[in-house]
């Protein structure tokens, strides 16, 4: 699982100017992702957060080529995925796998989960049935599922957390270097969420995997991520190492998201007025310039006329804002 075909100085994943748009009738388009760029190193975990509808899943699916993006580049280990032919893409797929939000519906309901875990090996034409089953059982043990008990069960005979363990086992069968996890714990209750996040962290250490970990809120990605990216209506507005993003958010949108994270403090009352005033603009007709400007207290003419580019304000800390927060004390 460690960087076959590794190219010198090339990150494992490079996403450049990625655009995802959907036709919406009458000549209109949904601007789901509008020019997002970032890199992910081998073994690194990048958390990706943003409000519902900001384009996280569209970005994840475009990376997976499910389907390919409207425009932009996705390079895995230096290899362009958006233009590669379908046969080679199928071969490359073993190196990047995805885990979906809804663990139950992402599995075949009528198939024993052990067989679902074997399926990627079957699709690749690898190994005979005995070896496939042996490896599936081994992987079940690795994700904390007793194969004697669970191999023959169907998804509806497992809990949500157990189904997500099955999905993780299935994704690991091809020996991927990159795991794209699209809200892998959002459908689970809080106690199970922590177990699945810990399992992913353990798997990352054991197999040296890189993970793109998508979540709704900043609390979920905090303990697992090396860096965190924040998306606002199709734009990446801030990317920073975990500690500097949480200690000193620079984009007013990140600060607002952080302020909205519930705190385990009985004396703390979140502001009643709401932290993100105003309507979330439509991705059918996003604002000009900065996509957060219609809800931002620092909004001015420059924000409306010029889209802020991501720029480095501290080592590894990038922000796309004309009026970054340093010293303003948040929103």
Ligand X SMILES: Nc1ncnc2c1ncn2[C@@H]1O[C@H](COP(=O)(O)OP(=O)(O)OP(=O)(O)O)[C@@H](O)[C@H]1O
- Residues binding ligand X (CB under 6 A): 22, 30, 32, 50, 52-58, 216, 283
Tell me which of Mg ion, ligand X, none is bound by residue 88, counting a contact when its beta carbon lies within the kind-specific cut-off of 5 to 8 angstroms.
none
Minimum CB distance to ligand X smaller for 31 or for 95: 31
Q: Give the integer Cα–Cα distance in Å for 62 and 34.
A: 12
Q: Give the integer Cα–Cα distance in Å for 279 and 158.
A: 40
Minimum CB distance to ligand X smaller for 18 or for 121: 18
Q: Does 58 bind Mg ion (CB under 5 A)?
A: no
Residue nearest to Mg ion (CB): 57
Per-residue contact track with Mg ion, 1 to 40, x per CB under 5 A?
A: ----------------------------------------
Tell me which of Mg ion, ligand X, none is bound by residue 22, counting a contact when its beta carbon lies within the kind-specific cut-off of 5 to 8 angstroms.
ligand X
Q: How far is CA 310 from the centre of its chain?
A: 19
Closest to 225 measured CA to CA, from 48, 56, 47, 60: 47
The piece of 29-37, 56-64, 248-256, 323-331 that touches Mg ion (CB under 5 A) is 56-64
The piece of 38-46, 51-59, 103-111, 133-141 that touches Mg ion (CB under 5 A) is 51-59
Among 45, 57, 225, 250, binds Mg ion (CB under 5 A): 57
Tell me which of ligand X, Mg ion, none is bound by residue 32, counting a contact when its beta carbon lies within the kind-specific cut-off of 5 to 8 angstroms.
ligand X
36-71 per-residue burial string, b: 16 or more CB within 10 A, e: under 16: bbbbbebbbbbbbbbbeebbbbbbbbbbbbeebbbe
Contacts with Mg ion: how many residues (CB under 5 A)?
2
Minimum CB distance to Mg ion smaller for 57 or for 162: 57
In the complex, what is the shortest distance from the CB of residue 233 to ligand X, in angstroms, rounded to a whole number? 9
The piece of 36-44, 54-62, 105-113, 188-196 that touches Mg ion (CB under 5 A) is 54-62
Minimum CB distance to ligand X smaller for 49 or for 199: 49
Minimum CB distance to ligand X smaller for 52 or for 110: 52
Tokens representing residue 202 in the block: 């353990």
Tell me which of ligand X, Mg ion, none is bound by residue 86, counting a contact when its beta carbon lies within the kind-specific cut-off of 5 to 8 angstroms.
none
Closest to 78 measured CA to CA, from 145, 3, 154, 155: 3
> Where along the sequence are the contacts to Mg ion (CB under 5 A)?
56-57
């Amino acid at each position: 699982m460690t960087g076959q075909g590794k190219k010198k100085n090339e990150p494992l994943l490079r996403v450049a100017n990625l655009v995802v748009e959907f036709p919406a009738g009458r000549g209109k388009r949904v601007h789901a992702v509008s020019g997002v760029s970032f890199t992910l190193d081998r073994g690194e975990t990048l958390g990706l957060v943003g409000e519902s509808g900001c384009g996280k899943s569209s970005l994840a699916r475009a990376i997976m080529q499910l389907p390919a993006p409207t425009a932009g580049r996705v390079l895995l280990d230096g290899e362009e995925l958006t233009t590669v032919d379908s046969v080679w893409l199928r071969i490359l797929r073993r190196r990047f796998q995805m885990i979906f939000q809804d663990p139950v519906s992402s599995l075949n309901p009528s198939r024993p989960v052990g067989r679902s875990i074997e399926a990627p090996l079957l699709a690749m034409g690898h190994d005979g049935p005995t070896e496939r089953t042996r490896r599936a059982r081994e992987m079940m043990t690795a994700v904390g599922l007793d194969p004697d008990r669970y191999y023959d069960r169907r998804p509806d005979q497992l809990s949500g957390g157990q189904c997500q363990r099955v999905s993780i086992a299935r994704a690991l069968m091809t020996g991927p270097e990159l795991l794209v996890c699209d809200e892998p714990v959002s459908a689970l209750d809080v106690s199970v969420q922590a177990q699945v996040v810990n399992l992913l962290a353990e798997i990352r250490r054991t197999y040296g995997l890189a993970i793109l970990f998508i979540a709704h809120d900043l609390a979920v990605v905090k303990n697992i991520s090396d860096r965190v990216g924040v998306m606002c209506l199709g734009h990446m507005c801030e990317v920073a190492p975990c500690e500097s993003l949480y200690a000193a958010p620079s984009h007013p949108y990140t600060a607002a998201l952080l302020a909205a994270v519930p705190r385990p403090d009985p004396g703390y009352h979140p502001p009643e007025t709401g932290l993100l005033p105003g309507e979330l603009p439509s991705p059918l007709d996003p604002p000009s310039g900065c996509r957060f400007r219609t809800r931002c207290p620092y909004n001015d003419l420059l924000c409306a006329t010029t889209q802020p580019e991501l720029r480095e304000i501290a080592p590894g800390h990038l922000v796309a804002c004309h009026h970054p927060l340093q010293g303003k004390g948040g929103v």
